[in-house]
Structure 1
Amino acid sequence: MKIAYLLASLAAVAGLAHAAPPAKNFFESPQYKNAKLSPSGRYIALGLGDHEQRDAYVVLDTETLGIVGGGRLPDYDVDDIRWVNDTRLVYTVVDRNAAWGDTRFAPGLYSVSRDGKERRQLVEHRGMQFTTGTLIKSRLEPWNTFLLDEDGAQDSEIIYLQRPVWSGKSDYEIERTELIQLNIATQQSSSITHPGVARSWLLDHKGQPSVLVSLKDGQETIHYRQANGEWRAIASQSAYGILDEGLAPIGFYDDKRLLVKTRKKGDKAALYLMNLATGKIDGEPLVSMADFDFEGEMVYSKKRLAGIHYLSDARSSIWFDPALQAAQKEIDRQIAGLTNIVTPPAQPETNWLLVASYSDRQPTFYSLYNSKTHELKGIGGAHPDIKPAEMGQQDMVKYRARDGMEIPAWLTLPAKGGKKLPMVVMVHGGPYVRGNAWGWDAEGQFLASRGYAVLAPEFRGSTGFGLKLFSAGMKQWGLKMQDDIADSVKWAVEKGIADPERICIMGASYGGYATLMGLVNDPNLYRCGVSYMAVTDIPMLYDSGMAVLSDLPDDYRAYGVPMLVGDLEQDAAQFVATSPLKQAERIKRPLLLAHGIDDHRVPFTHFSKMRSALEKAKADAEFAAYAGEGHGWSTLKTRLDFWSKVENFLDKHIGQEQK
């Protein structure tokens, strides 16, 4: 797709097609994804999604866009792609035809030459030795070895991997996370020595492991690796709950200063510089925002900090490099109306920059920009079948809760607009996370394309909007957090956005819990509910529910859950009143309840017990259980089946014919 064609399609935001776009346009694998420039900028690697065959990858010459290399595996899909150096890449694989319960968190890892002719397996698959028949070495890292979230130096054969180590109590409780240095040429590996029980790692601006966060008894300690290789503790704090002065290491400014996120002043967390020698934090922030906590990632080029990609309502960038600042300005002029995220190569030898463009109506589209000639050439988009003219407008709004607290929310309206619309309240999971950001969202836009207004409140307890909003959610499951959701509905009705007779509440995980509690607490507000992967009984969080391989260790249940949700003994009466399982007889509105049988974060027992209680109460409920699926729908087949059920359910209870 050419840039001119893309801009023309964005301009055509009038006139909807008669038929709603098919569901697969929203929920199939992105066609182009994970675009990465090589260290020199001479090549670009892209993931290629394909719903008819395995996802692949391709390497293009940035000057000519000619194909340099690429590949596809017969039994697995190429997933995350990284450059190790300018001649070799690594990629993980998944099986998009298999549900979560069949993948067992074992992606495997491969290295490949730029031209795709030499491929080596680096990490084994769980329970088997998978072979591709092409130059596979016999020595493989164990299956529980994963790519680190950050890129390394990209100037040698060395990469860094993380390896979760289980406690032995179950298959899903992580005791610690080790950092592994791997030479992809020799396949020799070694563990990075460190103090404490490792929780997470951070590489510096030169791609070397330099920060370790350890965890013990609800306390985390931040360690810095000095030039002599020794680790030094630079901060210690509570790992959970309310952190007025808590520190989060974000990246490196240079050899002497660490970038940390903290609430040194006021309600919002900002980005500060910390002197690594003294531990002193600057008095004024480097980056701060009036309405948002800082969230972002560092952009390094030539082994120095070139800029910062950060998130406010939408994503944006700050550039310390004047040339990149000028390039951003010209790109924004040429692709007006979109958010354009620019990424330079790590060690540039060309003038090409990677551009990822998007809006609320436009899914991500990749381009290359030449900072010398100002040429901009399109590569391709994540969802090319999505037509911006058929998508709805998304805006951030704010409303007052009943106690006066200001709550942010995301409102997406159908492309044709309208008043007194049928509305779906989308409740985010977590709940102690940020729910959304401005940009194209498959689920919200799918519902908007069917004529629904979609309102997604960032209720108290949500992160990213300041300490006051977050801390007000402590131990408020089913209480003030629930009131915030109800108050968002009342706001939408008062503003004439929503038809009070056609409102449905919907959500997954904690959002599924809040959906059930919405039907319990506020049956007059909601005509129906869609709850999936839902927590249905709070006490089950303590004995079977919140352990998952990726991010929730035993320590979280011992210290985090009591602080955030409540104490099992002291808050027992509250848990009875705020657990949907104990209140199932009060659910009188139609309900669609769905769950993955292999869900290990919110185990299937939450669903099965709730189903039994609803059946006993003779509730108007539909049920869907997906074999092999976990905490999220991993296959296109499941996604299409589930969202087809959602579409039919909503149409039946709040659709146009119900007016």
Structure 2
Amino acid sequence: MLFPCLHRFVRGALLAGLTAAATQVVCAAPNSVEDFFKNPQYLGVKLSPNGQFLAASAPGDGRMNLVVIDLKARQGKRLTKFKDADVVYFDWVNDNRLVFSLGSLHEPVGARKRYGGGLFAVDRDGKDSRVLVPTVQAAIDAGAYVYRMSAFLARTRETSDDIIALANDRNAKNPDVYRLNTKTGRKTLLTLENPGEVQQWIVDKDGVPRAAIATDEKLKITTWWRSGADAKWVQLGQYDLFEKNLLPLAFGYDGTLYVTSNLGRDKYAIYTFDPERKALKDLVFEHPDIDLGGLGTGEADDGGLIFDPKTRKLAGVRYDADKPGMKWFDASWSALGTQLDQALPGRFNAFRPPQEGSSQVLVFSYSDRHSGTWFVFDLAAKKIEEAVSMRSWFKEDDLVAMQPLRFKARDGLEIPAYLFLPKGSAGKKLPLLVNIHGGPHARADYWGLQPWGALESQFLAQNGYAVLLPNFRMTPGFGHQLFTGGLRQIGKAMQEDIEDGIDELVRRGLVDPHRVCLYGASYGGYATLWGLVKTPEKYRCGIAALAVTDLELQLTSTRGDTVYSDEGSYFWAKMVGDPSKEAEALRAVSPAFHADRIKAPVMLIFGEADIRVPLEQGEKMKKALERAGKKPEWIVKEEEGHGFVKTENRVDMYTRMLKFLDQHLAPAASN
């Protein structure tokens, strides 16, 4: 069976009523552990430029493979049959051809990293496939000593088989921009004049590289601009790591440069920019609670900018605050957004204007209790049809609200968070699990039924536990003060933010202070163990997955990948401490050296092949706990890395986690 659930398309209603068409889905099932942690039915759905086909990744052979759905014929075709990697990125080259890259949906680094990478092209009928760049493993097998990567950057405006791509052919560390023919593999260099050390390129609507963000080994950020393909590069600004900055985002159809900046303010906002005068012009959009475009570490996304290919103007800005939102500048698109919100209430309905020559709009509709459904809206016929869903087996009534929460840390800093309360509970004196995100310099938790934090939290809430997702200091996206407030505060103020969130819920009467447990992976695993060390009386148990337990070892061990990156080593030295100069300070906040302080039961979870946090970190903590007379529950999965790829391993892990919690945090079933 090609697809896990067959969707029966039903004709949509007229826009006057704009009632979403019904879709019958044959795959009803209770919310088992596997329901929460198996692969989605569809992911990353994209509409072809002419609006007649959908591309998506979907399960097959235990992996997420590339499929194309013909909307008129209501037929799907699987284009790839990978068994060792997932199709993690894809895009349309034109109406007939796609490009894609491989990776691992559940494991960003680890045993299977070598099976990822590459750049491939294929026609939508599955024919004329081409390996444009091999995977890491294929390059190794061919005797390559340096991996030459390539990645999709932009589609060309004219109809052709070319794309604008990144490739590190000239410099292994820093990519150039090429025009790449996906049929022949022929490349044309577009950045012969390269300002140097560029990590991020921004092309204009004609595919010309005209802005760049460069980063040296000390992570000093330099931004560049040029007026055209043959013009000289002009430096716009230079900033130190963790310093406020200004970063290019995108070019409008008229050549306007859009930037994001937090200079003179706490949160990144979007502006137009005059590169000749090197001065901000008009404020395009700002939000009081979140950054727009800037990621805090010298990187930028597209700022959520949405352009209309037909009017050739900026149509709106999409953003992710406590809940997602849209700011439309175009009245017609704003009106359509309002109509969609009325037809699909309680959800965020994301869409963008169609390509020139098409009247089809792809709408992604989701909420904190609805994993997401893609609709196709025909502007000309004024009708909307449901296409495919991400996880149709969930019923909204079985899930709980993802409640935005703000609380004050002890130093007055406001900490954003999310709260999940068990369905049907009185909301008083509940057992609490604090779900601590990884990174720590990553915003991992967004409103919606997303993997990791939100999906885990729904699973735990279904089983009777309140769950807190705190965006503690060092989390990017919520302003410069919150992000840089975490510098040199690992095990200190960063940990106290978690404690203060718990105390706030106790003050509100929501949580039983004697039934609190910590859980997290990667940095979250570290914070779990350090919480048990720092305030042992506060917690009933801790579940630490993929956890750093010895900071000095993590930053110096040749078994991991951190030591092999000059930039990574410098970043961590600045953020937590330099192991060559501050070893004692790092040991002072490393759980493996303080296992004797831990009172609560501990579960340790590791991947045998993890290269981000090597197994030695877990083994050292396990031995330290055993020496202290506190044998932990120990889970190690072979051939798994920094995240578990195999569904059976994820299901086993969460099943054992739930049993551990029911044993130590009070059985939810008996409450």
Is the TM-score greater than 0.5?
yes
8 Å CA contact retained: 2:66, 2:79: yes
SS at the partner of 1:529?
strand
**Number of the residue aligned with 2:288:** 290
**Number of the residue aligned with 1:576:** 587
One-letter amino acid of the structure 1 residue matched with residue 611 of structure 2: H
The count of residues paired between Structure 1 and Structure 2 equals 631
Structure 1 residue 355: Cα displacement: 0.5
Q: Please state if 1:260 is matched with 2:264.
A: no
Distance 1:576 1:323 in 2: 59
Distance 1:207 1:256, change over 3 A: closer
**Number of the residue aligned with 1:195:** 195
Distance 1:594 1:165 in 2: 39
Distance 1:417 1:144, change over 3 A: farther
**Number of the residue aligned with 1:170:** none
Q: Please state if 1:530 is matched with 2:534.
A: no
Structure 1 residue 53: Cα displacement: 5.5
Structure 1 residue 619: Cα displacement: 1.5
Q: Please state if 1:269 is matched with 2:268.
A: yes
Structure 1 residue 298: Cα displacement: 2.5
**Number of the residue aligned with 2:616:** 605
8 Å CA contact retained: 1:78, 1:92: yes
SS at the partner of 1:465?
coil
Select the residue among 129, 136, 161 that pairs with 1:157. 161
**Number of the residue aligned with 1:368:** 376
8 Å CA contact retained: 2:132, 2:185: yes
8 Å CA contact retained: 1:110, 1:119: yes
Q: Please state if 1:24 is matched with 2:23.
A: no
**Number of the residue aligned with 1:182:** 180
Structure 1 residue 512: Cα displacement: 0.8
Deviations 1:451-503 (A, max 9, x none): 11110111122221122222221110111111110111111112121122221
**Number of the residue aligned with 2:221:** 220
Select the residue among 630, 641, 645 that pairs with 2:652. 641
One-letter amino acid of the structure 1 residue matched with residue 654 of structure 2: W
Distance 2:438 2:140 in 1: 35
Q: Please state if 1:247 is matched with 2:259.
A: no
Deviations 1:36-66 (A, max 9, x none): 111222322222224x66544443344x353
SS at the partner of 1:423?
strand
Q: Please state if 1:447 is matched with 2:460.
A: yes
Q: Please state if 1:656 is matched with 2:668.
A: yes
8 Å CA contact retained: 1:253, 1:273: no
**Number of the residue aligned with 1:41:** 51
SS at the partner of 1:402?
coil
**Number of the residue aligned with 1:171:** none
One-letter amino acid of the structure 1 residue matched with residue 92 of structure 2: W
Structure 1 window deviating more from structure 2 (428-437 vs 508-517): it is: 428-437
Structure 1 residue 67: Cα displacement: 2.7
**Number of the residue aligned with 2:429:** 420
Structure 2, unpaired ranges of 5+: 1-6, 14-18, 294-302
Distance 1:129 1:458, change over 3 A: closer
SS at the partner of 2:363?
strand
Distance 1:150 1:502, change over 3 A: farther
RMSD: 3.3
8 Å CA contact retained: 1:68, 1:115: no
SS at the partner of 1:595?
strand
**Number of the residue aligned with 2:566:** 554
**Number of the residue aligned with 2:4:** none
Q: Please state if 1:229 is matched with 2:230.
A: yes
Distance 1:55 1:464, change over 3 A: closer
Select the residue among 349, 361, 374 that pairs with 1:340. 349
**Number of the residue aligned with 1:14:** none
Distance 1:414 1:577 in 2: 37
Distance 2:646 2:284 in 1: 42
TM-score, structure 2 normalization: 0.86
Distance 2:455 2:73 in 1: 29
Distance 1:222 1:514, change over 3 A: same
Structure 1, unpaired ranges of 5+: 11-16, 132-137, 168-173
Distance 2:170 2:573 in 1: 23
Distance 1:563 1:102, change over 3 A: closer
Q: After TM superposition, what 4+ stretches of structure 1 lie above 6 angstroms from structure 2?
A: 2-10, 95-99
Distance 1:322 1:59 in 2: 33
Structure 1 residue 271: Cα displacement: 1.0
Deviations 1:481-538 (A, max 9, x none): 1111011111111212112222110111111111011000111211000111111122
Distance 1:143 1:331, change over 3 A: farther
One-letter amino acid of the structure 2 residue matched with residue 157 of structure 1: D
Distance 2:558 2:257 in 1: 36
8 Å CA contact retained: 1:459, 1:481: yes
Distance 1:165 1:628 in 2: 31
8 Å CA contact retained: 1:152, 1:208: no
Distance 2:564 2:139 in 1: 28
One-letter amino acid of the structure 2 residue matched with residue 189 of structure 1: K
Q: Please state if 1:432 is matched with 2:432.
A: no
TM-score, structure 1 normalization: 0.87
SS at the partner of 1:448?
helix
